[in-house]
Amino acid sequence: MNDVSHSPWRPADGNRQADCTRAGLLMLQAADDELVQEQTAWLNEHLRSCAACDAQQARFRQIDQDLGAYGELLWQQNPPRPDERPRFLDRMATSKRRKRSVIPWIAAAAGALAASIMIGVCLNHTPSPARNRSLTARTPLPHVKQSQTLAASSDAVAVSVNHGGARAPHLRRCAASHAKPQPEDETFIRIPFTAPLAPYERIQVVRKNMAVAALIAAGFEVRVPDTGAIVTADVLIGQDGRAHAIRIISSSISNNHGGSLSQ
């Protein structure tokens, strides 16, 4: 075992301490050939007078040479690629181009996002004109008027409903299938004796022409001279496929004889 307690870098106490410390630093520099002539002479003189430092110097030299040889052999066995530098320059240039192209990409992405939001908003608020189509909505279902009379037209059919408890959607979004905006009170009327819709039930609204007789069969009380009259109505269909409510479209009454519908 070597004498580690005394070393040039951590010398024993005494007068030699400063000299041994200096000798330790000079040994490192000597290994790298960084000593000037005076320093070399001083180190040699110290090593002659200090056996511990001399022994340490010998061990240090041996190991240091081995480390260097080890590094050299690694290098010889695994020489670096000849194209390291051009490869690095290429990659650095690529990295620079990427950085420059980040801002345009961010702007493009933001523009695309804004455009898609605008398109979504327009699609939701500019419905197609009246035609037979079905719309679906997954919303908390809004309230239904429990008692209401809808004037189909000044001289035409009116539907009167008076039943309790049910909640039915007014579905303004679905009413978008109308060419003209609907009056606020033209809400859906729950079909009697049907189970109420669940709050978040998926629904469909289908516009179709219906015979007044069908309304009578559904439980509405209809007061019209001609039960064969045809009305256009939006039918709200629940997730179970059953009709839950209807909304008479005022402008589409084909009955000109006047009358009313009531439950």
Partner 1 sequence: MAVDDQRPISPAPRRDEVDRGVPSTSQLEQEVVGFFDELRGPLYRYFLCTGLSRDDASECVQETFLRLYRHLQRRGDHSNLRGWIFQVARNLIRDEYKSARRRRTETLDSSIERLSACPDPEGSPEDQMLRRERLHRLRSSIEKLTPQQRNCVLLRVAGLRYREIAEMLGIGISSVGELMQRAIARLNEDLYE
Classify the C-alpha dihedral 52-56-59-61 as positive or negative: negative
Under a CB-based contact definition with an 8 Å cutoff, are residues 157 and 259 in contact?
yes
How many helices (H) does the chain have, and how many strands (E)? 5, 9
Q: Pseudo-torsion of CA 224, 227, 233, 239, nearest 10°?
A: 120
Close Cβ partners of 42 (under 8 Å, ≥ 6 residues apart) = 22, 26
Considering beta carbons, is residue 25 or 117 the nearer one to partner 1?
Answer: 25
Out of 20, 27, 53, 158, the residue judged to bind partner 1 by CB under 8 A: 27
Under a CB-based contact definition with an 8 Å cutoff, are residues 261 and 160 in contact?
yes
110 touching partner 1, by CB under 8 A: no
* Distance from C-alpha of 207 to C-alpha of 253, rounded to nearest angstrom: 13
103 touching partner 1, by CB under 8 A: no
Q: Which of 173, 188, 180, 199 is nearest to 244 (CA)?
A: 188
Considering beta carbons, is residue 89 or 179 the nearer one to partner 1?
Answer: 89
Query: Which one of the spans 64-72, 103-111, 141-149, 227-235 is the region binding partner 1 (CB under 8 A)?
Result: 64-72
25 touching partner 1, by CB under 8 A: yes
Query: Which one of the spans 59-67, 101-109, 193-201, 224-232 is the region binding partner 1 (CB under 8 A)?
Result: 59-67
For the bound state, the minimum distance from the C-beta of residue 16 to partner 1, rounded and expressed in Å, comes to: 16
2 touching partner 1, by CB under 8 A: yes
87 touching partner 1, by CB under 8 A: yes
Considering beta carbons, is residue 75 or 200 the nearer one to partner 1?
Answer: 75
Residues that bind partner 1 (CB under 8 A): 1-2, 4, 7-10, 21, 24-25, 27-29, 31-32, 34, 56, 59-60, 62-64, 66-71, 73-78, 80-89, 91-92, 95-96, 99
